[in-house]
Every structure is written in C-alpha cells, then in structure tokens.
Amino acid sequence: MKYYLIAGEASGDLHGSNLIKAIRQQDPEAECRIWGGDLMEAAGGTLVKHYRDLAFMGFVEVARNLRTILRNIAFCQKDILEFQPDCLVLIDYPGFNLRIAKWARPLGLKIVYYISPQIWAWHRSRVYDIKKNVDRMLVILPFEAEFYAKYDYQADFVGHPLLDVVTNYPPAPDFLTRNNLNEQPIVALLPGSRRQEISRMLDKMLAIAPLYPQYNFVIGAAPSIPPSFYQEILQARAQPANVFIVQRQTYDLLAHAYAALVTSGTATLETALFGVPEVVCYRGGALSYWIARRLVDVKYISLVNLIADQPLVKELIQNDLNIPNLQTAFADILDEAHRNKIQKGYAILREKLGQPGASARAAAIVIESAK
C-alpha cells in the first residue's frame, strides 16, 4: 500500500523513521512518500521536502514566512493528489498538518495523526477540527487520551516511541577516541535543531564552560545545521579548550554524559530516558514569548516535568535564562543528593510512558486504516 507521511521537525523525523521501519516490517510492499528528514529517508521513504526548509518557530517568525508556508502547503496538496496514497500520516507539526487534514478530508483520504499537537496546552478549539478531519489520533503521552475523551473523541495511546529507541540503543565504544575526547566527565549541550533557537541558547550554555575546566562540554549539533554555524558562535566567544562539537552522535553523547543543558523540546525527554540530570533552557523572541504566555496553559514547559507532573528538572525560561541562574542550576545537577532525586523521578517517568513497542502498535493502526 501507499503511505504519505508529513513531519516538519527533527523529532518528527526520528519518530517518523521508526514508524516507516515498522510499517515496512508489517507491509513489505509499502511505498512511503515523505516530508521529513534524513532519518525518514534512510528508513525507506522517498523524500519530497526536507524539514530544514519548513522549520519556522514562534508566532512572529511564522508570520514573516507565511508566504513560503502557503507555497509549501499548495505544493504538498498537489503532490498528494499525484501520489494518491492509501493513507495520509500526519506527524505532529500542527500549523501545517491540520491545514492538510482539513483539505484532504473532503477527498475521502484516510487520515491518521501520529503524535498529537499539544492542544491540551493551548488553542484547545483545534480538537473540533481533529474530530472532524482525522480518522485516528495516535497519542504518545499518557494524559492525552484522557484529554481527548473529555471531548468525546477516542484517541489511541500507543506508548512513547523513544522507549524503544533509547532502551535498545548500543552506545559506540569508540565515542571518546573518535571525537578526540579525554576521560574528563562530559556535559552535553543540546541547544536545539533550528538556527534561531541555537543562536539564542548556545551562547548562554557556553558561558558555563570556562568555569568548569574539569569537564568536557560537548555540543550535540543538529544534523540539518552545518558545523560552521556552531563554529561562528564559538569563535565569537573565543572557544574554550574544553568545548567540542559532535554531529549525528546525540545518543552516543547522552550515553556518555554526566550532566546536560538542554533546550526545551523532545531532547529533554531523550536526556531523561538516558538517565542524565539536566537543566532545561528556553528563550524565544520577545514578542513570540509575550503572545505565548497569554495563550499557553501549562504548569511546565519541558516534557519531563509535564509527564512527571512535578518540577523534576529545573526550567530556566526567557529572562530567567541568565548566567547566574544557569550557574546555580548547573551546580545543583552536579550535587550527588540532587542527582539521586532526579534519577528516582526518571524511574517513575519511564513507568508512566507505557510499554515498549509504540512504533509497531502505531504502524498496525496505520496499515489497518489504509485498507
């Protein structure tokens, strides 16, 4: 059968790649046409558009690039019509994907949404569009099925796909030698996957490195961003000798890390599943953040704290993301008692995420819907 999958970010590319692998295991003749990234392409998808051409973050940035976004939507619609898929699989990325769902519904296409938009956090009215335009909603966070049930819509909780990815991940034994790293403890710096957020976040993270020469600070570079982009930021700070860059090795980095500074997003949960104490960082554009504060209704910004339903890891948001606060929070995650408390919380977090096998369960529902 033919499947058309749309993901617009690095995390969607990861989850989409595992979904494609699971689909192809259960449907060996599967033909997958994709909007995504390198991972989805490597899994067997035919890449139409890379997510690096789609990743606009924040209200202001989206408004500035609205013409490009509308062109992409029109192109996507045309490509779907030409491909004639048996099932359209939308992966998160709601601003784009909900528009596609609304357009595709009158055409009679089977529509499965994998990884719900965070409508429980803001813009809850979108649940009515989902009820009207989406055949099956597959959720990966334990509280999301309950949220949809309140609106008389059945969502399928399939578990979190990161459990499979992280649990079965074999760390590279030569990670240190391959990247010219010595035996000093590693602090992972994960500043995000988009240029805008990397520029805002990495400079603050790097300010900690000169204060701790006994640690190696290793930047996990996003696969879609060239190393030269990071080098420019480092050069502006007169790169300390204990700062390094690795690309396409984020999981190896986390497998070897002692602590981490992480930009809010999927990476916070990945870091937790690897058992690495972390500080969550976020700083957006001033206007975008002002708008978000008035629209978003959640107690926490990180997935770790949202799922745990407690402030398990420190969140430094917007103006709170400054050097003194970051120094204090970083010192805390080096303290043994504090680290033990975080580790106990991580164990509970794993239990809440359900059983392994999320991608296989999601693939079975996608294939069933396509028939």
The answer on pLDDT for 233 being more than 50 is yes
Q: What is the pLDDT of residue 297?
A: 52
Q: What is the pLDDT of residue 65?
A: 60
**Contact (CB, 8 A) for 188 and 218:** yes
Residue 223 is predicted with a pLDDT of 83
pLDDT at 63 > cutoff 70: no
What average pLDDT does this structure show over 343-360? Answer: 93
Percent of the chain with pLDDT over 90: 70
**pLDDT of 163-193, one tens digit each?**
988 887 999 999 999 999 999 999 999 999 8
List pLDDT tens digits, range 241-292.
899 999 999 999 999 999 999 998 889 999 999 999 999 998 865 544 444 4
Q: pTM for the full model?
A: 0.81
Sheet holding 216-221, edge to edge: 243-247, 216-221, 186-190, 257-263, 278-282, 314-317
- 261 pairs with which residues across the strands? 189, 279
Predicted pLDDT of residue 90: 98
| pLDDT tens per residue, range 149-166 | 999 999 999 999 999 888
Q: For 151-308, where are the alpha helices, taking DSSP H only?
A: 162-167, 175-178, 195-206, 227-236, 250-256, 266-273, 286-295, 303-308
Over the stretch 5-15, which tens digit does the pLDDT of each residue have? 999 988 899 99
Q: Is pLDDT of 293 > 80?
A: no
The proportion of the chain whose per-residue pLDDT surpasses 70, expressed as a percent, equals 92
CA distance 105 to 21: 26
Q: Show the domains of the chain with their CATH numbers.
A: 2-160+356-370 (3.40.50.2000), 175-352 (3.40.50.2000)
186-190 and 31-36 beta bridge pairing: unpaired
Q: Worst-scoring range by mean pLDDT, 21-30, 76-85, 284-293?
A: 284-293
Per-residue confidence (pLDDT) for residue 294, from 0 to 100 = 46
Predicted confidence at residue 301, as pLDDT, reads: 80
